[in-house]
């Protein structure tokens, strides 16, 4: 069985933070007109949108914000037009330095703000325990050297090692922060095709919290207490021999969400060595899961954009074989 990597065991979508390895100096701004009486943390997020609100709140707690020359750590403090704001980000702990590697990438879209990648099976998104290199992050650093100044080389969400399909990468800190906020606001649309075991008779929704498995800590599970809300909508697209092709739409982005939810309702993904019974896991070489459509609001233009990629050849072959057997 394939060992789990950092991307498999890390919780939920990445959170954008300040670039590492870059010493900071205090930056200043003035409370703009029209925000009289607004909370200080909200005003900070407005004047410095390149930083996530959680990061700004952390700096507030650490005493790195001054208002009219006086230190202030009260996020709820009300502001007044013309007040002078000073932020001292300091120096954050440096991330591990990762080497750029000339690894081919299937780039679906690229501009000065975004990259959209069609990730192949077998590619790990981020280096981790047991996988120090050869990852999407290493490939991104080679293709766009400037991504070394963006946390996690601009990666804002992930796909499991053996899941294929669309993944968006931010080329700037501002774009990364914007995309993380979109993920949190659930305005990013992610649709997947999956081949699941058994005859799934109707469309439905799995609304069940996901957390660490109480015994097997490298796995996720539907849990009654302590889990994070998770919701997956699924739609029957084709009935096959002993299996069903379904389309899944995520409302949340929990680790292994589709795999855990489909197993929870008794329809594990074919090829899933972690969550499927052995007889189901042996029916395909990997979990039969493909992120085929991705939609979001472009961080720079504000336009709604969307991309689609076809099923990879191995899943096409799987489905064709199951059709022949009917």
Q: Which residues pair with 65 in a beta bridge?
A: 87
CB contact at 8 A, 243 and 236:
no
Structure tokens at 184: 């949190």
Q: Among 8, 160, 162, 178, which one carries the catalytic annotation?
A: 160
The question of whether 68 is a catalytic residue gets the answer: no
Q: Could you tell me which of 195, 178, 196 has the C-alpha nearest to residue 187?
A: 178
CB contact at 8 A, 78 and 134:
no
- How much is the CA Rg of the chain, to the nearest whole Å? 22
CB contact at 8 A, 177 and 56:
no
CB contact at 8 A, 196 and 284:
no
- CA–CA gap between residue 130 and residue 124 (Å, rounded): 11
Structure tokens at 10: 């890390």
Q: Which residues are catalytic?
A: 160
């Amino acid at each position: 069985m394939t060992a789990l990597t950092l991307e498999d065991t890390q919780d939920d979508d990445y959170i954008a933070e300040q670039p590492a390895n870059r010493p900071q100096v205090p930056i200043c701004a003035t409370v703009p007109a029209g925000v009289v009486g607004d909370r200080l943390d909200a005003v900070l997020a407005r004047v410095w949108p390149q930083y996530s609100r959680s990061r700004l709140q952390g700096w507030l707690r650490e005493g790195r914000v001054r208002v009219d020359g006086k230190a202030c750590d009260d996020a709820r403090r009300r502001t007044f037009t013309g007040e002078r704001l000073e932020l001292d980000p300091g120096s954050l702990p440096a991330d591990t330095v990762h080497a750029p590697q000339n690894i081919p990438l299937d780039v679906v879209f690229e501009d000065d703000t975004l990259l959209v990648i069609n990730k192949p099976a077998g590619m790990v998104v981020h280096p981790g325990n047991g996988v120090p290199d050869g990852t999407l992050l290493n490939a991104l650093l080679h293709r766009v050297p400037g991504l070394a100044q963006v946390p996690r080389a601009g990666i804002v969400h992930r796909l499991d090692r053996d899941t294929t399909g669309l993944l968006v990468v931010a080329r700037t800190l501002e774009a990364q922060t914007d995309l993380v906020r979109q993920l949190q606001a659930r305005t990013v649309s992610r649709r997947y095709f999956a081949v699941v075991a058994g005859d799934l008779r109707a469309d439905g929704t799995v609304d069940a919290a996901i957390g660490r498995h109480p015994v097997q800590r490298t796995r996720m599970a539907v849990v009654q207490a302590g889990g994070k809300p998770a919701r997956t909508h699924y739609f029957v697209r084709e009935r096959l021999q002993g299996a069903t092709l379904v389309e899944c739409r995520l409302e949340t982005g929990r680790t292994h969400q589709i795999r855990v939810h489909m197993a929870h309702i008794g329809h594990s993904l074919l090829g899933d060595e972690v969550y499927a019974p052995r007889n189901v896991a042996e029916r395909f070489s990997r979990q039969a899961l493909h992120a085929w459509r991705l939609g979001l609001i472009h961080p720079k233009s504000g336009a709604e954009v969307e991309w689609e990629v076809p099923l990879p050849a191995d899943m096409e072959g799987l489905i064709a074989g199951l059709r022949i057997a009917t």
